[in-house]
Structure 1
């Protein structure tokens, strides 16, 4: 089980956003903010992730590509996967 926490995830450097900030409360994603990136797209992803269980965030966003490579949504999926694996 993932503990309640505020997360600051540094992206891989291959996407427009340099960091992703979000809160996890009772296994649910809240307050997602991308630092950098395409404002409309990152705000849209943040709004869609709001209130979802982190497992569902990963399932929905994993593998999304941008310009044939990684993407900001995929990086959010990696951030929640890392939390789940570490049980943080």
Structure 2
């Protein structure tokens, strides 16, 4: 019983470490996306007012999000396997 508990604790620690790494990676990716979008707004701000460039970038992001609402991984998987493959 002690061996099973020790193995469970070891696997749980690995799972927790993986989850923490995943969340950390997602935060870094989100920060990179924000910097990329701000860079696009800064480039636009060379030709138009800053408020307008930020509004345009925000509107494009909102439009893109409304165009493609969140789909589950299962729906994407089913759609992928439903299409015939040429190769």
For the superposition of Structure 1 and Structure 2, which TM-score range results when normalised by the shorter chain?
A: under 0.3
**Structure with larger Rg:** 2
TM-score, length-normalised on structure 1? Answer: 0.24
Q: TM-score, normalised by structure 2?
A: 0.24
Task: Specify which structure has the higher proportion of helix.
Answer: 2
Quick one: higher RCO (CA 8 Å, sep 6+), 1 or 2?
1
